[in-house]
């Protein structure tokens, strides 16, 4: 049932973003599959280890986030889901308050341990 999958993905996405925002890297990592790939609109490609290492070294001090326009498409077997959404991150970078806007596409795969993120693409050119 699509509505149930949409709700499950929304919950997992919020847990993932909450862990990012609060710099809880172990929890953040638990939402990401070992074969994860991250892509940006600047042609940056990172695996799970590189992605978490980059984020954990960043000086971003998150204070909140919002997601909107969430659209989830699931496979017929309901073991794969694509989430498209707009994200807004509010925080500080070098003591300056900023808001970062992005359009993101995140692919979730359902395994024995639940939903994991296997692919993510972020564009900040909005």
d(CA 58, CA 73): 32
* DSSP class per residue in 4-39: HHHHHHHHHHHHHHHHHHTT-HHHHHHTEEEEEEEE
pLDDT at position 118: 98
CATH number at residue 24: 3.10.450.50
Structural domain count of the chain: 1
d(CA 103, CA 45): 17
pLDDT at position 2: 60
Per-residue tens of pLDDT for the chain, all 126 residues: 566 999 999 999 999 999 999 999 999 999 999 999 999 998 899 999 999 999 999 998 999 999 999 999 999 999 999 999 999 999 999 899 999 999 999 999 999 999 999 999 999 876
The residue segments making up the domain with residue 7 are: 2-123
Tokens of 35: 């074969």
Q: Give me the helices (H) in the chain, please.
A: 2-21, 25-30, 48-57
């Amino acid at each position: 049932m699509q509505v149930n999958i949409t709700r499950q993905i929304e919950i997992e996405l919020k847990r993932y973003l909450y862990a990012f925002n609060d710099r809880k890297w172990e929890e953040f990592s638990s939402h990401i599959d070992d074969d994860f790939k991250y892509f940006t609109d600047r042609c940056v490609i990172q695996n799970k280890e590189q992605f978490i290492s980059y984020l954990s070294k960043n000086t971003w001090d998150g204070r909140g986030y919002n997601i909107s326009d969430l659209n989830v498409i699931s496979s017929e077997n309901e073991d794969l889901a694509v989430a498209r959404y707009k994200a807004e991150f509010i925080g500080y970078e070098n003591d300056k308050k900023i808001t970062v806007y992005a359009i993101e596409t995140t692919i979730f795969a359902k395994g024995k341990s639940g939903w994991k993120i296997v692919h993510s693409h972020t564009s900040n050119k909005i």
